[in-house]
């Protein structure tokens, strides 16, 4: 069994009066590609942000064995997080963004070369010398993903990164994520695309009412693929039961 | 798949600023004519402001200020400290909020680098006030101890702001906090002015109103309670009015961003000028009446009319350029220079030139 790369135990998070997470338990092993699904406002993004150690929360949290709240520098150098594309610095060029993040992470030229290769795969290269302000949503999304994958971190936290991507780029990205997972990375992909979760991921966890309400492994997902309604029907059943 | 080895001394904000500056210089080099034109316009504005300084130094407000500060320095210093602290705390809290979604929030950046950037933001929030304060003290020719008090006020304000921001940083909040809620609800048909009214109401926050508190420092010692109350209300009204004005102009841009695909007539867009124009008219009437009431009857109507004319010109600039008010500063400055030159050379032509500029801008605003 591969080591646990992301370990979340009994995680609680609230924004003042608003309780978002009520004891989340989630373990993601190296080589696993996990889909985090759930209704809007269920706390998927908050859970991913909490895993970066930037939110005050209660419970146990470990990124590659390190608590990001106690040792943020060591933990963050082990994780890649795809930021909201709208927050990328518009006045910088794509190339400058890559070089900037590479310098912050202490990466060498080979990592930058690898990032440029990924840009070519995602058809981002023609835009790389232009300012981010001129990018479309999909192009910004591609850049956010390239920045998250920079330096091949062991843990990847990706929040709705397939949104806005053209079909070819989305397909390429799914291949890249598969390759990274096969190389030993633990990947958490928050998504609303149930077909993506069903066909391309190793596990799917449903976040509902601040807890993991269901967790389907590879075999169960394979079984759902052949059953009528598939994962969608299973998720809808959980959502109806929660109402 | 390797954990990276981050450089703990690297400052990503500084690197970002450096890269942005590099890009800007490149853009300037690519358009030398436009760059020279902009530089000349800013130079002209700077010269105009410097030329106004000696006039300001001779004004009666300076004497009033000097008298107030010398008569009872402690309340003055305490008031200035409180206002500076509010301003700095608001700037630092806004920065903290922005950092929750900043591209490097999840990057391995050392805490002491983040702390350094935090101090820089705080320093930049206080620096303009420090410079303005030193300039004011020099103009007022106050004793050297006043400079010490100013530094003490800045220091206390900085400490308060840092503590306040630290408290806000420890409170978990949504990455994208909800927008400020309007103070009053509105229902009815979609008109830009209704939206502007709601936005203007949403801006009446204690943080905005606190900016009007600066007027408290102008109240002479020994002034009656009624005079102090009226002055305070006036300060709050000025702060609220400026906020409402800025927000109502912002609505024009926001509407442009998401309503431009709708089959809307030109009068819908021009109707967006109605609310800020009404605000400007009110401000002009109040200012004119106040000046007339204070005995400056000869200049009251001219100042009121001037304020209205300039406000209408800014509305036309925003409509024509379809940019935020602070982004049309250069265009506004050019128009001001043109009006100023006309006033110097051929005063009777001034209304005609103003009207011509407004019509030209509105014609640009009417483009699809």
Rounded mean pLDDT of chain B?
A: 81
Whether A134 and chain B come into contact, CB under 8 Å, resolves to no
Q: What is the DSSP letter of A202?
A: S
**Contact (CB<8Å) A104/B107:** yes
Residue closest to B316 by CA, chosen among B326, B305, B325? B325
Q: What is the least distance, in Å, from the CA of B312 to any CA of chain A?
A: 31
For every residue of B209-240, DSSP letters joined together read HHGGGGGGGGSPTT--HHHHHHHHHHHHHHHH
Q: Which residues of A fall within a CB distance of 8 Å from B10?
A: 103-104, 106
Q: Which residues of A fall within a CB distance of 8 Å from B110?
A: 73
pLDDT band at B183 (very low <50, low <70, confident <90, very high): very low
Whether B103 and chain A come into contact, CB under 8 Å, resolves to yes
Q: What is the DSSP letter of B180?
A: P
**For B33-47, how does the pLDDT look when each residue is reduced to its tens digit (9 = 90+)?**
888 988 888 888 888
**Contact (CB<8Å) A185/B1:** yes
pLDDT surpassing 50 at residue B315 = yes
> Looking at chain B, which residue has its C-alpha nearest residue A78?
B3
Average pLDDT on B125-142 reads: 84
> B15 CB contacts (<8 Å, ≥6 apart)?
A100, A103, A104
Question: For residues B309 and B354, what is the distance between their CA atoms, to the nearest angstrom?
Answer: 8
- Beta carbon pairs, A and B, within 8 Å: 119
What pLDDT sits at residue A226?
Answer: 85
Residue that has been written with the tokens 């004793």 in this structure:
B143
pLDDT surpassing 90 at residue B78 = no
Question: For residues B55 and B9, what is the distance between their CA atoms, to the nearest angstrom?
Answer: 49
Helix H or strand E segment including A14: strand A4-15
- Quote the percentage of chain B above a pLDDT of 90: 12
pLDDT surpassing 50 at residue A15 = yes
Question: For residues B114 and B111, what is the distance between their CA atoms, to the nearest angstrom?
Answer: 5
Backbone torsions φ then ψ of B11, nearest 5 degrees: -105, 105
Whole-Å CA distances, B321 to B33, B271, B360, B361? 20, 17, 12, 8
Lowest mean pLDDT among A113-127, B100-114, B166-180: B166-180
Q: Which of A76, A92, A106 minimises the CB distance to B5?
A: A106
What pLDDT sits at residue B251?
Answer: 87
> Looking at chain B, which residue has its C-alpha nearest residue A49?
B106
**Contact (CB<8Å) A74/B3:** yes
ipTM of the complex: 0.80
**Contact (CB<8Å) A74/B108:** yes
- Quickly name the fold that domain A1-78+155-163+184-243 has: Rossmann fold (3.40.50)
Question: For residues A142 and B349, what is the distance between their CA atoms, to the nearest angstrom?
Answer: 57
> B155 CB contacts (<8 Å, ≥6 apart)?
none
Q: What is the least distance, in Å, from the CA of B5 to any CA of chain A?
A: 5
pLDDT surpassing 50 at residue B178 = no
Lowest mean pLDDT among A27-31, A239-243, B179-183: B179-183
Q: Which residues of A fall within a CB distance of 8 Å from B170?
A: 56
**Contact (CB<8Å) B1/A154:** yes
Whether A192 and chain B come into contact, CB under 8 Å, resolves to no
Q: What is the least distance, in Å, from the CA of A170 to any CA of chain B?
A: 22
pLDDT surpassing 80 at residue B254 = yes
pLDDT surpassing 70 at residue A70 = yes
Average pLDDT on A50-70 reads: 91
Pairing between strand A186-190 and A155-159? parallel
Collapsing DSSP to helix, strand or coil, B253 comes out as helix
Residue that has been written with the tokens 């508190």 in this structure:
B213
**Contact (CB<8Å) A100/B15:** yes
Residue that has been written with the tokens 């110097």 in this structure:
B344
**For A33-45, how does the pLDDT look when each residue is reduced to its tens digit (9 = 90+)?**
999 999 998 999 9
Q: What is the least distance, in Å, from the CA of A10 to any CA of chain B?
A: 18
Rounded mean pLDDT of chain A?
A: 91
Provide the residue ranges of all domains of chain A, joining segments of one domain with +. 1-78+155-163+184-243, 83-152
pLDDT surpassing 80 at residue B258 = no
Average pLDDT on A165-193 reads: 92
Helix H or strand E segment including B73: helix B73-99
Lowest mean pLDDT among A104-108, A169-173, B323-327: B323-327
pLDDT band at B180 (very low <50, low <70, confident <90, very high): very low
Q: What is the DSSP letter of B348?
A: G
Residue that has been written with the tokens 């390429």 in this structure:
A172
pLDDT surpassing 50 at residue A18 = yes
pLDDT surpassing 80 at residue A8 = yes
Collapsing DSSP to helix, strand or coil, A69 comes out as coil
**For B260-306, how does the pLDDT look when each residue is reduced to its tens digit (9 = 90+)?**
767 777 777 778 888 999 999 999 999 888 888 878 878 888 888 98
Q: What is the least distance, in Å, from the CA of B191 to any CA of chain A?
A: 29
Question: For residues A27 and A44, what is the distance between their CA atoms, to the nearest angstrom?
Answer: 15
For every residue of A92-154, DSSP letters joined together read SBHHHHHHHHHHHTT--HHHHHHHHHHHHHTT-GGGTTSBGGG--HHHHHHHHHHHHHTT--S
pLDDT band at B184 (very low <50, low <70, confident <90, very high): very low
Average pLDDT on B324-342 reads: 77
pTM: 0.75
Backbone torsions φ then ψ of A79, nearest 5 degrees: -125, 150
pLDDT surpassing 90 at residue B96 = no
Whether A172 and chain B come into contact, CB under 8 Å, resolves to no
Pairing between strand A155-159 and A4-15? unpaired
Average pLDDT on B218-243 reads: 79
């Amino acid at each position: 069994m591969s080591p646990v790369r992301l370990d979340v135990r009994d995680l609680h998070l609230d924004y003042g009066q608003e309780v978002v997470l009520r004891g989340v338990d989630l373990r993601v092993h190296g080589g696993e590609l996990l889909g985090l699904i759930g209704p809007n406002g269920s706390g998927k993004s908050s859970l991913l942000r909490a895993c970066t150690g930037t939110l005050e929360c209660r419970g146990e949290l470990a990124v590659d064995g390190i608590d990001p709240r106690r040792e943020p520098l060591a933990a963050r150098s082990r994780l890649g997080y795809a930021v909201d594309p709208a927050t990328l610095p518009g006045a910088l060029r794509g190339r400058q963004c890559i070089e900037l993040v590479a310098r912050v992470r202490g990466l060498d030229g080979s990592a930058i070369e690898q990032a440029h290769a990924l840009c070519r795969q995602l058809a981002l290269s023609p835009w790389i010398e232009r300012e981010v302000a001129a990018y479309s949503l999909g192009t910004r999304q591609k850049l956010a993903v390239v920045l998250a994958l920079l330096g091949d971190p062991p843990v990847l936290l990706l929040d709705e990164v397939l949104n806005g991507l053209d079909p070819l780029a989305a397909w390429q990205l799914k291949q890249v994520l598969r390759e990274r997972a096969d190389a030993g990375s633990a990947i958490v992909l928050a998504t609303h695309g149930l077909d993506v979760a069903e066909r391309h991921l190793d596990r799917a966890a449903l976040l509902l009412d601040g807890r993991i309400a269901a967790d389907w492994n590879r075999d169960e997902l394979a079984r759902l693929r052949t059953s009528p309604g598939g994962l969608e029907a299973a998720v809808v059943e959980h959502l109806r039961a929660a109402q | 798949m390797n954990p990276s080895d981050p450089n703990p001394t690297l400052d990503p904000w500084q690197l970002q600023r450096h890269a942005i500056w590099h890009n800007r210089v490149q853009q300037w080099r690519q358009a030398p004519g436009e760059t020279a034109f902009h530089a000349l316009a800013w130079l002209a504005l700077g010269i105009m402001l410097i030329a106004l300084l000696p006039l300001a130094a001779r004004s009666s407000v300076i004497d009033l200020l000097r008298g107030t500060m010398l008569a009872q320095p402690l309340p003055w210093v305490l008031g200035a400290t409180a206002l500076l602290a509010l301003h700095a705390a608001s700037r630092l809290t806004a920065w903290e909020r922005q950092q929750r979604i900043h591209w490097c929030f999840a990057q391995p950046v050392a805490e002491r680098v983040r702390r350094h950037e935090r101090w820089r933001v705080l320093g930049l929030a206080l620096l303009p006030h420090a410079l303005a304060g030193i300039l004011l003290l020099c103009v007022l020719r106050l004793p050297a101890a006043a400079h010490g008090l100013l530094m003490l006020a800045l220091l206390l304000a900085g400490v308060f702001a840092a503590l306040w921001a630290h408290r806000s940083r420890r409170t978990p909040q949504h990455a994208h906090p909800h927008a400020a809620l309007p103070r009053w609800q509105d229902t009815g048909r979609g008109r830009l002015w209704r939206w502007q009214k709601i936005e203007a109401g949403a801006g009446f926050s204690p943080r905005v109103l606190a900016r009007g508190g600066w007027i408290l420092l102008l109240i002479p010692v020994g002034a009656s309670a009624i005079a102090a109350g009226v002055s305070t209300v006036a300060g709050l009204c000025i702060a609220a009015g400026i906020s409402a004005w800025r927000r109502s102009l912002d609505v024009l841009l926001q509407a442009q961003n998401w309503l431009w695909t709708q089959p809307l007539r030109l009068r819908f867009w021009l109707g967006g000028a109605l609310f800020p124009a009404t605000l400007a008219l009110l401000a002009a009437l109040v200012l004119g009446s106040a000046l007339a009431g204070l005995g400056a009857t000869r200049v009251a109507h001219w100042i009121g009319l001037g304020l209205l004319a300039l406000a209408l010109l800014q509305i036309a600039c925003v409509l024509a350029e379809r940019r935020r008010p602070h982004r049309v500063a250069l265009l506004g400055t050019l128009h001001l220079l043109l009006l100023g030159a006309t006033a110097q050379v051929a005063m009777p032509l001034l209304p005609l030139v103003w009207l011509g500029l407004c019509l030209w801008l509105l014609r640009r605003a009417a483009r699809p």
